[in-house]
Structure 1
């Protein structure tokens, strides 16, 4: 038998070992728990920081005006500075904060030109105030569709054969001038066809960028008699108002026009080809032709100027619509659209809005290969191919996104008697062919009558 003191020593040692072991376990558990707790706190702080920064950017970018893009202060001349370089230069704290708030705004290259809306946009305010859709006509052309007796076609009753309507802004005087002198020229053409032209404008958003803009448009109206000016601000999201007011003007001031071409000022248009296409078409029947976009989905990406949130449009697909660069419709269709567009909810994107109006009246737009509202693509097999070629343009009707010199140059190239294209000996040989019968839609679809139309409540 062991003595009593040795047994007590052994038990004491065992207790000490247990205490040391328990202490080590406790330290390990405590370290693990502290680490997990710190990670959770870090994640919570990161989440709160991101949400607060997003809300701060949204609140700082909202505009107080209705139907408008975010408000911008007038630009100050800075001779040797660029917007991209100013962010990297150290400046005072106040200037740095203000520039951070404006980092989503893209400056315009031309004074007075409406800036594309860069999200976030105050869509809730837009929805609240979009029912204000009737604005005063400040400059009118009541005699525009009264053709002189010498130009009257038999049975037209002083109405032009074609009305050309061009979307423009006040500062783009040079674009209006090149249209007037080239493809938008008014007059009496072959086969007893009369053409009239109007430009559609609103009030400039930044009036300080173009002083005396109202005098400019007043003088233009006196000289050319082709300006239509309404009392709404000329912005990207107000192009829908320009659409509805133009259709109302056609219905009241030009009700007997046979056909209408409507497009942008930065397009080249072969009016001769369009007139050839319209031969045999009946102006008293529905007709809507252009570069038709089908099965387009609403853009939910906030960085796009075409961003539309779900609470504005919850559908998965847009109705078929024509690219806004240019399209042709009959006078009968324009008059029906004038009534239909008063029933459809205003939508921020004018091209899609017009597609909604076509859907309401049951007119299926037809695609024509001659309308190139996205320009002429360069084939991947020929990356060095020159697409700005009159031999390409002579077979088309509308080509979008051209500069003023390009429009003037292409017009003169195509009307040069020395022009020679080896692929075709006769410019009118092989007339433009439709995909399917005339007036037929691009592809088979369900009847519009079975679809829900985006109408007013």
Structure 2
């Protein structure tokens, strides 16, 4: 009522001019309300075609498998690894903070869909015998530095040249990207591609690694995909690769997974739909924590990925590509050398393995120092 009186008084005082202002104000207010409604509906429609932010947050992580009934933490020098019993290998993944706000619309594994932002195309000019490729999240600087100060610092073992590189995806922000570029300038061991760095996209990450090996380093004899939370005994690994009965082509070995069922439970982190992978069991594959292969396979796997429909279990996907190629994963001569966990720290155990999972970058540093100390 008060508003009506105000408009009436103004109309009497200003006449037709103020009546025109009143009409204009009402029109503008109506237009503003309509625009707000359109924006609200458009926002709802957009959200229905992208994955919710909460889902993407859950998807971001650094590795792919977990050992149940075990929690790793930093321990004292006397007990670097907690004792673990009744261990069972399961798919593992550690959720990390969101590193990018880029929506994930679909999952395409073939590396031709991506390009390198940071690259080290000349790293293989010295013809390394073995290339170690480490998939790692952009923010995991501590993990990279721990590897750089331990097994990643080895450039020659048993007279053979080694090369270690880290593969990352998008950082999700200009400040993080700037820090990554500075790290790249300092160490010259980072390769970055323009895919969303997430748990969901580990298959992409693995295939980009294969693409880099095929295009930048085809002359290498062997390569290894090894996770950033791994202890790696290079002497034992090199002894395996230099053995006279180790194949030089179509060879891949590690911890072999046979007859693993595809998880159809939609509430599971490792759910794969029948649309993506219709078979009830995966083909034989190597556990993603660390597998070594003759480098001729890198190009062949990239080619196979053109016809194998991608799904989000990265090491099983590599197994599907191997099946397409007719290549059977090989059991290592001594399967105990590829261990999931060793249990309570015993120095001598680390002389016998090739790989084993650790709980933190500091554990890697502490164990490495202890293993390398003079006896």
Q: 2:55 aligns with which of 70, 74, 91?
A: 70
3-state secondary structure, aligned to 1:199: strand
CA-to-aligned-CA distance 1:360-385 (integer Å, 9 cap, x gap): 11111112314545323xxxxxxxxx
- Which residue number corresponds to residue 220 of structure 1? 183
| Structure 1 position 169 matched with structure 2 position 126 | no
The structural deviation recorded for 1:359 is 0.5
| Structure 1 position 375 matched with structure 2 position 332 | no
- Which residue number corresponds to residue 392 of structure 1? 349
Kindly indicate whether the alpha-carbon contact (under 8 Å) linking 1:111 and 1:171 is maintained by their aligned counterparts in 2: no
- Which residue number corresponds to residue 402 of structure 1? 359
1:213 and 1:283 map into 2 onto residues whose CA distance is 42
Unaligned runs of 5+ in 2: 1-44, 59-93
Q: 1:330 aligns with which of 275, 294, 316?
A: 294
The structural deviation recorded for 1:69 is 7.7
| Structure 1 position 274 matched with structure 2 position 242 | no
Kindly indicate whether the alpha-carbon contact (under 8 Å) linking 1:113 and 1:172 is maintained by their aligned counterparts in 2: no
The structural deviation recorded for 1:295 is 0.1
The structural deviation recorded for 1:269 is 0.7
2:205 and 2:57 map into 1 onto residues whose CA distance is 22
1:288 and 1:196 map into 2 onto residues whose CA distance is 19
Kindly indicate whether the alpha-carbon contact (under 8 Å) linking 1:326 and 1:371 is maintained by their aligned counterparts in 2: no
The structural deviation recorded for 1:284 is 4.1
The structural deviation recorded for 1:342 is 2.3
The structural deviation recorded for 1:63 is 7.2
Unaligned runs of 5+ in 1: 1-58, 74-107, 115-121, 148-158, 377-385, 419-457
The structural deviation recorded for 1:254 is 0.4
Kindly indicate whether the alpha-carbon contact (under 8 Å) linking 1:169 and 1:201 is maintained by their aligned counterparts in 2: yes
- Which residue number corresponds to residue 349 of structure 1? 313
Kindly indicate whether the alpha-carbon contact (under 8 Å) linking 2:261 and 2:281 is maintained by their aligned counterparts in 1: yes
| Structure 1 position 198 matched with structure 2 position 162 | no
- Which residue number corresponds to residue 136 of structure 1? 115
Q: With a CA cutoff of 8 Å and minimum separation of 6, indicate the structure with the bigger relative contact order.
A: 2
Change (3 A) 1:126 1:401: farther
- Which residue number corresponds to residue 36 of structure 2? none
**Pairwise CA RMSD:** 3.0
Kindly indicate whether the alpha-carbon contact (under 8 Å) linking 1:375 and 1:399 is maintained by their aligned counterparts in 2: yes
2:235 and 2:196 map into 1 onto residues whose CA distance is 34
| Structure 1 position 305 matched with structure 2 position 284 | no
Paired residues for 1:39-78 under 5 Å: 64-65=50-51, 70-72=55-57
Normalising by structure 2, report the TM-score. Answer: 0.71
The structural deviation recorded for 1:241 is 1.0
Kindly indicate whether the alpha-carbon contact (under 8 Å) linking 1:201 and 1:227 is maintained by their aligned counterparts in 2: yes
The structural deviation recorded for 1:143 is 1.1
Q: 1:145 aligns with which of 84, 108, 124?
A: 124
How many residue pairs get aligned? The number is: 292
Kindly indicate whether the alpha-carbon contact (under 8 Å) linking 2:109 and 2:207 is maintained by their aligned counterparts in 1: no
3-state secondary structure, aligned to 1:215: helix
